[in-house]
Amino acid sequence: MGKEIEQFIDEDGKRLDGREPKEMRSLNIEAGILEKADGSAYLELGDNKAIASVYGPREMHPRHLQKTNRAVLRVRYNMAPFSVEDRKRPGPSRRSTEISKVAREALEPAVFLERYPRAVIDVSMELLQSSAGTRTAGITAASVALADAGIPMKDMVSSIASGKVDDTIVLDLRQEEDMSGSGDMPIAYMPQKEKLTLLQMDGNFEPHEFEEAIDLAIEGSEQVYEKQREALENKYSKVEEDE
């Protein structure tokens, strides 16, 4: 996190984009957008644009990687070369490898992997446009794609970040806030189970700020969950109309 170089909260308590501190960017999710995938979702969070796809469960190859008592959830996070202003070098990076790992760990607790021994479920998160919060956008989209694929789940996984700018705890940091604020805390959360599956922190939070940031991120995740449910309901109500 860099040193704060300008004020991000004005005298009226509004952020530079006009949002209240506890207000999320606009969020739109559409389920079932890829015909060739078993499940898929498209998500826009502010200026972020992400596509998630799911393939499987299917037999895992090579066989020595199979788990005899459960499926393997294989997650891939990737930022397209054109997703950022300075063209990104194609291929995996240290950051994409790290986010792929934490995304898998965030999604695994929600999936009944034990129902599919020796199988693999492949989850792909492709970021088409990036503007802070890409890991939370990818996890949120991937959860919808898993549900769209009919994978049995204990709960959805909803993800958003809180953070600190101008000594104020805020929800869903935009690019400038993320780069120049003093704290960032992405989480993933199962709303029905009331269980955190991911908690990361970058920057400095006082103990009371830490608690406030977690509470705010959980509130935001519950808002995300409603959008996820809405996307799935819209998809399946449309299927029923077409039949």
Q: What is the CATH number of the domain that holds 231?
A: 3.30.230.70
Q: How is residue 152 written in tokens? A: 């049995």
Residue 1 lies in a domain: no
The answer, yes or no, to whether residue 5 has pLDDT greater than 50, is no
pLDDT at 181 over 90: no
4 in any annotated domain: no
Most confident residue range from 71-85, 169-183, 199-213: 199-213
14: in domain: no
> What single string gives the DSSP state of each residue in 68-130?
TTB-EEEEEEEE-TTSSSSPPPSS--HHHHHHHHHHHHHHGGGB-GGGSTTEEEEEEEEEEE-
Question: 61 CB contacts (<8 Å, ≥6 apart)?
Answer: none
- What is the domain extent for residue 202? 27-242
Q: What is the mean pLDDT of residues 111-129?
A: 97
What's the structural domain count of the chain? 1
What pTM was estimated for this model as a whole?
0.92
Mean pLDDT of the chain: 92
State yes or no: pLDDT of 153 exceeds 80. Answer: yes
Average confidence (pLDDT) over 48-71:
96
pLDDT attached to residue 197: 98
In a domain, 32, yes or no: yes
- Over range 165-180, report the average pLDDT: 91
Block residue for tokens 């969950």: 225
% of residues, the chain, pLDDT over 70: 92
CA geometry: angle at 60 spanning 109 and 39, to 5°?
Answer: 60
Confidence check: pLDDT of 126 > 70: yes
pLDDT at 4 over 70: no
Please indicate, yes or no, if residue 5 is contained in any of the structural domains. no
- 11 belongs to a structural domain: no
Domain annotation covers residue 101: yes
105 within domain boundaries: yes
Q: How far is 72 from 104, CA to CA, in rounded Å? A: 10
